[in-house]
Amino acid sequence: MPNWCYNRVEIYSEKEGIQKFKALVRDDERPFSLEKIMPMPQKVAASLEPNPDYPIELHVPSGDDWYEWRNKMWGVKWDTSPPRGENGMYEGWPEVDGDYDYEVIYNFDTPWGPPVGIYKYLVQGGLIALTGDPNATISWFWHEWGVESAGYLKA
C-alpha cells in the first residue's frame, strides 16, 4: 500500500473557463480525473484488463504498460482519490476578486507523490486548452505525510 500524497489544486479563470474545465475533467467517481485530463492510449488502457492467469476477483492487470505509461505521463500510478469536501472543493471559498471571475479548488490524494506530469501538461498549454482562457492559472500544493515532505509545484 502506498503512502498517500495530499494535493490541493486551485484553478483561476473566467467563469466560462472554469465551467468548461470542471465539465472536462470530471468522471463518474471524481471531479478531477487524471484520465480525463490526459487519457491513456487505447492500447495502453487495454493492459488494465484482468489477467487470465489469476482469479478474476484479484483484478490483476494483464500487463504493466498502464503502470509504466501512467508513471511516465502522469507521474503517479493511479488516478486521484475521491474528493475531500463537497464536489471536490472546500466549502465557503468566495469568488476571486480582480481579473478573474471565478476559482475552483480540488483536493484529493495520489499515491506516493503529486502527479507532476499532469501539472506540467497543464502549465504547458493544457490549462488554456481545457478552459479556453489564455489568462487561466493554476496553483498546486502537495503534502506527503509519510516522508514529511511538502511544497508547491512550479513550472
Output the CA torsion sign for 81, 20, 39, 145.
negative
Q: How many domains does the chain have?
A: 2
Per-residue pLDDT averaged across 16-37, rounded?
Answer: 92
For residues 132 and 126, give the distance between their C-alpha atoms in angstroms, rounded to a whole number. Answer: 10
Residues 142 and 104 in one domain: yes
Residues 119 and 49 in one domain: no
Residues 53 and 125 in one domain: no
| Backbone region of residue 74 per phi and psi (left: phi > 0; alpha: psi in -120 to 50; beta: other values) | alpha
What pLDDT score was predicted for residue 59?
A: 65
Listed residues 29, 50, 73: the one ending a domain: 73
Least confident of 39-43, 75-79, 86-90, 116-120: 86-90
Query: What is the domain range of residue 48?
Result: 42-73
Residue 85: CATH number of its domain: 3.30.70
The CA dihedral of 78, 32, 57, 2, to the nearest 10 degrees, is 40
